[in-house]
A and B are shown apart, each in its own frame.
Chain A
Amino acid sequence: MNNFSYTQASTAKEATGILKDKPAAAYIAGGTTLLDLMKAHLQEHPQLVDINMLPFKGIEQTADGLRIGAMERMSDVGENALVLQQFSAVSESLLLAASPQLRNMASIGGNILQRTRCGYFRDAAFPCNKRVPGSGCPALTGDNHNLAILGTSEACIATAYPGDLSVALAAFDAVLTLENQKGKQRRVPVTDFYLLPGKTPHRETVLEPGELIVAVTIPTAAHTRRSTYLKVRERSSYAYALASAAVGLDVQAGTIRSARVALGGVGSKPWRSPEAEKVLTGAPATEATFRAAAAAALRGAQPRDDNRFKIELAQNTLVQALLKVAG
């Protein structure tokens, strides 16, 4: 790790002001992902600005849903009664992630910004277009066992966001509130927050330099109350998803009124599937419908040598999640 200085900011203005002067500085909240990246020399920052004191706190009921401050901890949000009642998939996505120690430290904003687990990105000895634009992508012909099959490009096949929370947020139309260096706030849907790799896999989100995540708001609906997050991994805990599904259904008299579907572990970004939702909406809540939706969700998949299994796995994961919420 490189030497760095450490500054504690107590207001957003103070924090963004430092980054305005020193663009290479970085914000630190829980530090559970940033410190790993710095230790491996994947990110180098001369200064860290601690934003834990910022007033981006609270889990509040709003007129149409919940507002969760970006500095809330994963464990606090995952165990929160309001979240559990209105967004069981969000709670599950948080509590199935990482380990209790990490969940106690990691902030919601930091979780949303965690970076890929692609082994080629995580080891600076390898070329990686995401890390060093134009250096190449060894994963294309190398170990791509746990890399993406949807939304990829010839430049990058990483699951850029490897985690769980944003999959649930993408499914349920969550919106991020961002604040830039001028103190101006804007709202960006989670589905628009992450960028597809295309030819610029080093650009991962729409976040501007120095911009902060202030909060995430999630609208409550019948399909969020009846929701689940199913995560498939190679061990029972403390592993990233091979495939995951966040789903919510509003079923009335056997017919699906509204549906929300997003997949994790298979997309270049948290993979909302309007194709699957289209199949589900208005259809009977049967396994046949769910299988058709799963097929639709994976229709554009482009597997590589080692991750062909993810098509079937992601479909089955989605079907099992839908069967669970359909009850």
Chain B
Amino acid sequence: MDTEPQFFETNPKAGVVGQPLDRVEGRDKVTGKAKYSAEFNALPGLVHAVLKTSDVAKGRITGFDTSAALKQPGVLAILTHQNLPKLAKTPNDAEGKKAIGAPMGFMPLTSDQIHYAGQPVAIVVADTLERAQYAAALLKVQVAAEKPLASYEDPRAELFDPTKVQDGKTPAHTVRGNAQAAFAAAPLQLTHKYTHAINHHNPMEPGATTAHWEAPDRLTVYDATQGVTRTQKALSTMLGLPTEQVRVVTKFIGGGFGCKGSSWPHTILTVQAAKAVGRPVKLSLTRPQMFTGMGHREDQTQTLKVGATQDGKLTALIHEKTSTTSPWDNYAEPNSKIINMLYACENFESSYQLARANVMTSTFTRAPGEAPGSFAIECSLDDLAYQIGIDPIEIRLRNYAEKDPSTGQPWSSKSLKQCYARGAELFGWSKRNPKAGATRDGRLLVGWGMATASYPVHNSQGTARARLYADGHAVVQAGATDLGTGTYTVMTQVAADALGLPMDKVRFELGDTRLPTAPNSGGSVAAGTVSSSVYMAVQDVWQKLIKVAVLDKKSPLYRAKPADVEVKQGRLQLKGNPQKGEEFGALMKRAEMTDVEGNGQGRYGSGYEDAQAAANADPTKKDEAAHHSMHSFGAHFCEVKVDPELGTVRVTRWVSVHGAGRILNAKTARSQIIGGSIFGIGAALMEGTVRDPNYARYTNASLADYHIPVNADIPDMTVEFVEEHDPYINAMGVKGIGEISMVGVSAAVANAVFHATGKRIRSLPITPDKVLETKAVQV
């Protein structure tokens, strides 16, 4: 495009955007004032629901014995497929699934079929939670059980070749160049298998829904969801109600990590239960139910073939993934995407194979695709570096992609070289002994590993509203959600700067479908989309006031051309003569305006670039080459200490450096990167859900047995951002940091373990048994 697009210029020293400010909602959270979705307890007549789930993974319900349960005091209803009113639409067919936006092509309690262990089979409603739980325990479900299939690893599993994976979003086959021929001709050939355990999101706040029918056809739902609009669409479609008659509210979320990114069965079941008993109903999933209620990262094996020249230049990448999916959906997280774009390589091919098993549908989980995909490519790159005897950073620089290999497009911005350099400097990488298994700290083996991170800027858009009051305060709103990562805070900062008001004069409201529509907090899109929506809404406020000013005889700006007026720190003034102007408050009081409202639409990703191109560029010159590939990049550096006798691996130092566009709040951003990296360390070293091969039921569905890192597992972590100015992605230059922090982490840890021990462990998590049982290789 001919002119650089509009970019919100703020002075980080004068303004609050970028400053490491405390969370605006922090006090409410720590004092208990913040209301989560299961805490709307003052609703009149609120009662409690408990899900009864299936013990077996496959079979048919032949009946229920409700006699003992119904006799219990306080029990209001036991709802099953036999007595639950039919939904207007279910996801049980492809059309319904699409219309609903359902994550799973199956709705429990619509038939007698049992397809997975933990599948809801009944809802029990009672006046207290304890009575509902007790009645649910007394409810007997009669089942004709069949032998289930647990995973793609079962010899009975039938692998098939889907045409698309990830709910039809990703083609199952990608071919670029001729990877097979290039691999066959490559002087260096690596073929390795990588396996990844099942991971569960395990947010502290479980899935929770409070449903309140305010009228027979009007509903308010307080739901733990990453997107109120998506949940509203799902519920209204299933219920056959006009969208606007379903209100969804999510004021606070205790973590989601993808599992709250879709509307899962418990939410509509709670709504149906509330309808059935004619009272508001609240339901929280139990911790065990969190393992079979809101999806997971699927069990999977990747095979990655790498062809390279003698000096380590990639010539071919062939990626195959095999994973387990549900009886209905072709879901696989898209691991191949990052392998296709991370390094310069002319020839690429990827394919996916699936096997149906008696499991629920897996779903986006903490950097879906990029996290396990990066494990494969980043370990193989490390292998290649050792094979030709060069530094792991050097192998990455030799294959540095100057443009996106998967599309041929130039990058909108890419600071990866700076990330490598700064990360290496902070870590002291130059002091690394290149030899594996050669560094010791007493009995312990010391290893240093690194890996590249990247995450795409997905296309998204949303809206926001800003209302500025003459007395100098403002309320800014968007129907976004705050996963706990800082949306409330950063949007307050953006609005405060745009309005020229102090932080405490701006209130940002979110989490309600009555507010302007915003996207899901997922795919790292929220910060980029909502910040530009807020910014655009404030610009609309100023444009409205400028129009008032130029028509007001008493204004210094009377009869000025609106285009000649600018707003700086809340003062309307002439661009050429800043002395000529006035504060918005004076103007509004004179005009007897109590407030002025602005609305804005924010775009993020390719849609923003398209809109800018359309607005700014010569349309005759517009072509594909003007489009950019948009990604964040980063680098992780990790030190581990491995006990060679006991097989234990502990991360002892950590450095992450990312280039992710404008950082809206240095403190919340740092926290977010730390949290995401800890996820990654968890996946690398300890997280894994085990599905029994015969019963297709999890054997460790608790936080005692599904290990996530504890404080003692995590060292001090150094996090920095490279300053990056990206004018193509949105009005704020914000790329978003929701997932990038996890990408590459497991590889950095595995590479450090290899450097420590000479043992290449390609199966996550890297637990002591694998460290002991893997043989060291000589390099």
Interface of A with B (CB < 8 Å)? 1-3, 41, 117, 119-120, 122-126, 138, 141-143, 145, 232-239, 242, 306-310, 312-313, 316-317, 319-320
Contacts and interface: CB of A to CB of B under 8 A. Distances in A.
B647 interface: yes
7 contacts: A2-B134, A123-B699, A125-B55, A138-B694, A143-B700, A234-B768, A237-B710
Interface in B579-594: none
The 10 lowest CB-CB distance pairs between A and B, nearest first, are: A119-B699, A125-B55, A236-B712, A309-B769, A316-B645, A143-B699, A237-B712, A142-B692, A143-B690, A237-B710
Contacts of A41: 137
Interface in B695-711: 695, 697-702, 704-705, 707, 709-711
B161 interface: no
Interface residues of B, number: 40
B75 to A, nearest CB: 13
Contacts of A308: 773
A327 to B, nearest CB: 14
Q: Which of B134, B646, B711 has the most CB of A within 10 A?
A: B646
Nearest to A118: B699
B701 A141 contact: no
B645 A320 contact: yes
Contact of B693 (A142, A309, A317, A320): A142
A320 B646 contact: yes
Q: Which of B133, B690, B768 has the most CB of A within 10 A?
A: B768
Nearest to A243: B646
A126 B288 CA distance: 14
A233 B648 CA distance: 8
Given A117-B704, A125-B117, A242-B769, 15 more contacts: A3-B130, A119-B698, A123-B701, A126-B695, A232-B647, A235-B685, A235-B710, A235-B712, A306-B769, A309-B769, A313-B647, A313-B769, A316-B646, A316-B772, A319-B645
Contacts of A307: 769
A309 B707 contact: no
B705 A2 contact: no
B686 A122 contact: no
Interface of A is mostly: loop
Contacts of A126: 692, 695, 697, 699
Interface of B is mostly: loop
B650 interface: yes
Contact of A309 (B686, B699, B709, B772): B772
Given A145-B769, A309-B772, A138 B646 contact: no
B709 A142 contact: no
Q: Which of B137, B690, B694, B769 has the most CB of A within 10 A?
A: B769
B199 to A, nearest CB: 15
Q: Which of A2, A123, A312, A319 has the most CB of B within 10 A?
A: A123
A138 B692 contact: yes
Contacts of A3: 130, 134
Q: Which of A242, A306, A313 has the most CB of B within 10 A?
A: A313
Q: Which of B56, B117, B701, B767 has the most CB of A within 10 A?
A: B767
B713 interface: yes
Contacts of A143: 690, 692, 699-700
A313 to B, nearest CB: 6
A313 B711 CA distance: 25
Interface in B92-129: 117
A4 to B, nearest CB: 11
A235 B709 contact: yes
A309 B710 contact: no
B138 to A, nearest CB: 9
A309 B768 CA distance: 9
Contact of B710 (A2, A238, A319): A238
A141 B694 contact: yes
A1 B130 contact: yes
B325 to A, nearest CB: 21
Interface string B739-763: 0000000000000000000000000
A36 to B, nearest CB: 8
Nearest to B54: A125
B198 to A, nearest CB: 12
Nearest to A144: B699
